[in-house]
Amino acid sequence: MPHRLLIATGNAGKIREFRALFDAHVDSDWELVAPADVGLADFTVVEDGETYAENAGRKARSYANAAQLPALADDSGIEVDALDGAPGLYSARYAGEASDDAANRAKLLAALAQTPEAERTARFRCVVALAFPYTTNVRLGEGVVEGTIAMNERGERGFGYDPIFALPDGRRMAELDVSEKNQLSHRARALANAAWALDAMARTLDA
């Protein structure tokens, strides 16, 4: 019988992506549940850590305790070299606390308007954190994908900064089909690097 694992985010795009990623990268048997499935649709965690790992770990522990279930959280961002690594930790709220994906992309393109194409190098970074309820131990996995910030938007798939993130072959992240994105995205790589921890957690629950 599969064990339930709470995906600790209110972002519907991330929840869909994690469901597909588990099919691609995780061998152990988990039933993924969203916060709304366990009465936590309005639950929030302040993300004021100084690193992706701090934020992801805090979310995983907080959601795990609130739901009394093992939880998986991630924190991710886009890091632009010409902007000294910004927006980084603040990627989700780059254009303001109430900003949406389109506003964040527009602000980033405006910030780079005078930056030549050769100097628009960037990367997506993701850290995945896993936690049991009422424990301080958090297991982590990190993933990075390198690319550049394109001059304009292209592609209808994905979410967030995907339409302006160009891979080395020139395609935008938002142009990849689901199966390909789930092999090479920063979130895919982070989850693949945390698969050992998911297997260990499943064995603990089976014991």
Cβ atoms of residues 43 and 35 within 8 Å: yes
Q: Which residues have C-beta within 8 Å of that of residue 47, sequence separation ≥ 6?
A: 55, 58, 59, 75, 89
CA atoms within 13 A on the CB side of 54: 7
Which positions are catalytic?
Answer: 75
Task: Report the side by side order of strands in the sheet with 30-33.
Answer: 30-33, 3-7, 71-80, 121-131, 138-149, 165-166
- Helices and strands, counts by H and E, the chain: 5, 6
Cα torsion through 25, 206, 35, 22, rounded to 10: 10
Burial of 193 (0-12, 13-18, 19+ CB in 10 A): middle
